Structure 1
Amino acid sequence: MTATNALVPAGSNALTLGFSGSLGNLDAYISAVNRLPMLTHEEEVALGKNLKEKNDLKAAEVLVTSHLRLVVSIARGYLGYGLPHGDLIQEGNIGLMKAVKRFDPDQGVRLVSYAMHWIKAEIHEYILKNWRLVKVATTKAQRKLFFNLRSHKQGLDAMSPKQIDELAKALDVKREEVIEMETRLSGRDIALEAPSDEEDDKFSPIAYLSSDNMEPTKVLEAEQVVRLQSEGLETALSKLDARSRRIVEARWLANDDGSGATLHTLAEEFGVSAERIRQIEAAALKKMKGALAAYM
């Protein structure tokens, strides 16, 4: 089986579905799916009921294959993200099959309208998992920005302040997020390894990206931990009264192995109940957490 044959849903008979010969390349696949017959509304409803009521897999197969051209059309709109068209189509086909599985013909909605959501959702997930901007698009609003920014940009020029403000307002994101996303979208990929074996090539990106410890976010995280353990912790402790500080230090900072003083030991020291020590400790930790927020 060729890579393009993998685009055809598993279990389908290529000949009975209108495919003739070997689908040796993507163009042949696209040409073949565009020749597949489209279903009438009545045929779609009948097939949908057979699938829903009788678990008729042949009906599911026909519903899927008759909408493969829809996947090709939708996938073409995501070519600007630098991922292979064939891979986008394959992911879209997965979304189409999920839509067919959940399709309810009794709702009166055509499968094409229902399937578009599932196809796009699957392609979106694929892009976000595989593209180099995945860490940027983490919230729903940022994902919307990620997939709408290209259509709002006019050519290769940077967006004007007015365009940035308008887009930020329309998508309900901060203007700083629009600027950051545009900057990353405008960036060019570089080769990790240099093309030759010369001595200078030892300084190609692969040389300093080989260790996770040198990854920028790891370095920043390590620096932040050190800062929290020194300056941040001392500042937070200074916000406590003498008794609260003594309890926190005895409970959490006395030994490196975490085996601090017990509530009952401290209760005897201060002449109060263990429950009162627990309350003081909880209040102190809450206060420290607020002080440490400035260092996060």
Structure 2
Amino acid sequence: MTVHTGSTTTALAPVNAWALVPPLGSLDAYISAVNRLPMLTQQEEQEYARKLKNDNDLEAAGKLVMSHLRLVVSVSRQYLGYGLPHGDLIQEGNIGLMKAVKRFDPDQGVRLVSYALHWIKAEIHEYILKNWRMVKVATTKAQRKLFFNLRSMKQGFKADTTDAQAHREVLSEHEIDVMAERLNVKREEVTEMETRLSGGDVLLDPAPSDDGEQAFGPIAYLSDRSHEPTAMIESQQRDVLATDGIATALGELDPRSRRIVEERWLKVNDDGSGGMTLHELAAEYKVSAERIRQIESAAMKKMKKALAAYA
């Protein structure tokens, strides 16, 4: 850059676009800074995109990103109605912009602004769906479309109604039919999504009240110990020991000891009763009941060692 002052020409260093964006500061300062960043011409954009594609030039990638930061700010404003911080929306949009720059092909004959728009919106959409509610409200493509169009369509309906009707929060049957037809979803999906969006957030674990008493919240009845990872692993280990482990341990016993253990501990008849008693086994093997108990005790110790080794 040159400055002419009378007969004197002074050369100035080129403006560093990166220096225009402050590393720290308020969101307003950031937005003001990115709006002052110079826009690239189509020729410059093509040049930097080819440097990135062919030479992996990170400086060229930075210039492409910096020149489109104002686009992210503009797009992010469309999603302020979801109650999420504007700065977080911009941050997620910037991630989408960087993904677009990385994948941008200058030979496709399209400007980066058009290509990046999809990636910016996609990243912001994903962020909203993950954070707007603790429970996911949209999973299929049709439901996502419904999620992001329901609010704007409701506002359009309110604008067409009288002042008295405008305060009505619940959708009418006609409005539900119109939404379902326009968005190509079922009426039930519109109703369900409207219920989810209009529902208030509930604190799972309320703070203690002023008198020191713990308030009763959903955490008290929503917690499920059976699905806690450690409990699930322990349950799986017990299942394995109760099947394969027991079979392996029984295989370590001689036929008589194995039958005694099975009759005493593993056998269940159709009427719910167990197997043979000590005295019944003693009569069958023509030994004392005490001898059967000793054989059983020795077999159980042997099985315990086998199970410990199996585990």
| Shorter-chain TM-score range | 0.5 to 0.7
Q: Per chain length, whose mean CA-contact separation is higher, i.e. which structure has more relative contact order (CA < 8 Å, sep 6+)?
A: 1
C-alpha contact (below 8 Å) 1:18/1:35 kept by paired residues: no
Query: Residue 68 of structure 2 aligns with which residue?
Result: 67
| 1:18–1:36 contact (8 Å) kept in structure 2 | no
Aligned to 2:254: none
1:161 corresponds, among 167, 173, 184, to: 173
* Cα deviation digits, residues 170-212 of structure 1 (max 9, x gap): 1111111101111111112244424634355431344444x23
CA distance in 2, matches of 1:147, 1:196: 37
Counterpart AA for 2:173: P
Counterparts of 1:1-296 in structure 2, within 5 Å, are: 16-19=17-20, 21-132=22-133, 134-154=135-155, 155=158, 157-191=169-203, 192-194=205-207, 196-198=209-211, 201-209=214-222, 211-212=223-224, 257=243
Q: Distance in 1 between matches of 2:50 and 2:196?
A: 47
Are the counterparts in 1 of residues 93 and 124 from structure 2 also a CA contact under 8 Å? yes
Cα pair 1:103 1:114 within 8 Å, conserved: yes
SS of corresponding position for 1:163? helix
TM-superposed CA distance for 1:16, in Å, is: 4.1
Specify every segment of 5 or more residues in structure 2 that has no aligned partner in the other structure, as ranges: 1-14, 159-166, 229-241, 245-311
State the TM-score, normalized to the length of structure 1: 0.63
Please say if residues 47 and 63 of structure 1, whose CA atoms lie closer than 8 Å, have aligned partners that are also in contact.
Answer: yes
- Amino acid corresponding to residue 176 of structure 2 in structure 1: I
| Displacement after TM superposition at 1:95 (Å) | 0.5
Deviations 1:253-272 (A, max 9, x none): xxx949xxxxxxxxxxxxxx
Q: Any idea what the Cα deviations from partners look like across 1:103-157, whole Å, max 9, x if unmatched? A: 1111110000000000111111111122216533111100110111011013562
Question: Which residue identity lines up with residue 49 of structure 1 in the other structure?
Answer: R
**Cα drift, residue 21 of structure 1:** 4.9
* Counterpart Cα distance in 2 of 1:56 and 1:81: 37
SS in structure 1 opposite 2:215?
A: helix
CA positional deviation for 1:83:
1.4
Letter in 2 for 1:64: V
Matches of 1:213 and 1:169, distance apart in 2:
43
Does the Cα contact within 8 Å between 1:194 and 1:204 map onto a contact in 2? no
Q: Return 5+ residue gaps in structure 1 as ranges.
A: 1-13, 219-255, 259-296
Deviations 1:42-86 (A, max 9, x none): 111111111111111111000001000111111111111121111
Give the letter for the 1:193 counterpart: P
Task: Describe the SS at the equivalent of 2:113.
Answer: helix
Secondary structure (helix, strand or coil) at the match of 2:197 reads helix
Residues 172 and 134 from structure 1, CA distance in 2 versus in 1: closer, same or farther, beyond 3 angstroms?
Answer: farther
> 2: distance between equivalents of 1:15 and 1:186?
47
Larger radius of gyration: 2
Distance (Å, rounded) in 2 between the aligned partners of 1:20 and 1:171: 40
Output one character per residue of 1:259-292: Cα deviation in whole Å (capped at 9) or x when no partner: xxxxxxxxxxxxxxxxxxxxxxxxxxxxxxxxxx
1:208-266, Cα deviation, whole Å (9 max, x unpaired): 44x23599xx9xxxxxxxxxxxxxxxxxxxxxxxxxxxxxxxxxxxxx949xxxxxxxx
Note if contact 1:208-1:214 (Cα within 8 Å) is conserved in structure 2.
no
Give identity over the alignment, percent.
Answer: 70
Q: Once superposed, what is the RMSD of the aligned Cα atoms?
A: 2.7
Give the aligned residue type for 1:186.
S
Which stretch shows the higher mean deviation, 18-27 or 157-166?
A: 18-27
Question: Which whole-Å CA distance do the structure 1 matches of 2:91 and 2:23 have between them?
Answer: 17
Which residue is equivalent to 1:222?
none
Name the amino acid aligned to 1:47.
Y
* Distance change (3 Å), C-alpha of 1:20 and 1:178: closer
- Measure the CA separation in 1 of the matches of 2:79 and 2:67: 22
